[in-house]
Chains A and B, each alone.
Chain A
Amino acid sequence: MLNSVYRRVALVTLVAAWSQVALAHFPFVECTKETPDIVCLGGFSDGSSAQGVTIDLISYDEEIIASKTFDDHSRVQFEPYDGEFYILLDAGPGHTVEVDWNEISAR
């Protein structure tokens, strides 16, 4: 009887704790221009890694120039592209972040 009460209390506590983790989960990406490549570091606001998440380099006329995924260190590298473009982290519908080419500063 007491065991079942303890189990219920533990379950409620765990659910409450996990619901907090699930709430704040926004993606972010920071890109810098290193010679000669563009290096992007991604992640989520709860501190989790973006490993395996898709990131695309897309020209202004909506052509996907390069499509990659973040590596074990939550980083990705793109070859330089001449022209106007943006980089899109796509972790699923409604979980995207864009970085415009003119927001990428040299390291």
Chain B
Amino acid sequence: MSTSVAMQKNHKTHSRWFRWRFHLSGLLILIPVVLTPFYIELMSLFGGANGLGERVVGTQQVGPWTITLAEQFERGPKLDGPAGYMKTFNGALCQECAEQVKAVYMRLGKPRSLRTAGVIGFGSPYHMTFSMPVPENSASDADLWLTLEGWDGALHHAQWSLAEASPATVQFLQQLQEK
């Protein structure tokens, strides 16, 4: 008799737990509900719907062309394995020059030649992405150099001081070099 009562109790506890477990699983729906706005905001930043980047650096006249530069995220470079630290910028060419520019390159410091002009911007001419390597020993007063190559072979340069282009990267380098 007592064994049967104990079994019934055990069964009740189990069924209550199973019922609650079922209701708790409903809470899982809250995860996408909470995270979706962040995801949409992030995707609109990558796609350009939220502007060129988190922080617009400025616009410069480069020879006959105009380019606007922005930091994708207003923070220091991220480590990418053996390739070192990478900082991501976005760039946009003016509407009338988009068809005249063949490629845009970016690097820290003055390029020695076109071969060493730096990383190439990829994506639409109105939303190019540059993942630029930032060597650990980079001077915090270094300049960011952009090289624009036209379909006619013309080369034009634009430069921004790193402090102007990305204060977060300057701060990151100072902290790294203090260690």
Contact = CB atoms under 8 A, between A and B. Distances in A.
A36 to B, nearest CB: 26
Q: What is the interface of chain A mostly: helix, strand, loop, or mixed?
A: strand
Given A93-B103, A94-B103, A45 B120 contact: no
Contacts of A26: 80, 83, 86, 131, 133
B62 to A, nearest CB: 17
Interface residues of A, number: 19
B53 interface: no
Interface in B103-161: 103, 105, 112-113, 115-122, 131, 133
B116 A96 contact: yes
Interface in A17-69: 24, 26-28, 30, 43-45, 47, 62
Given A24-B80, A45-B80, A90 B120 contact: no
Interface of B: 80-84, 86, 103, 105, 112-113, 115-122, 131, 133
21 contacts: A24-B80, A26-B131, A26-B133, A27-B83, A28-B82, A30-B82, A45-B80, A45-B81, A45-B82, A62-B113, A88-B115, A88-B116, A93-B105, A93-B120, A94-B117, A94-B119, A94-B120, A96-B115, A96-B116, A96-B118, A98-B116
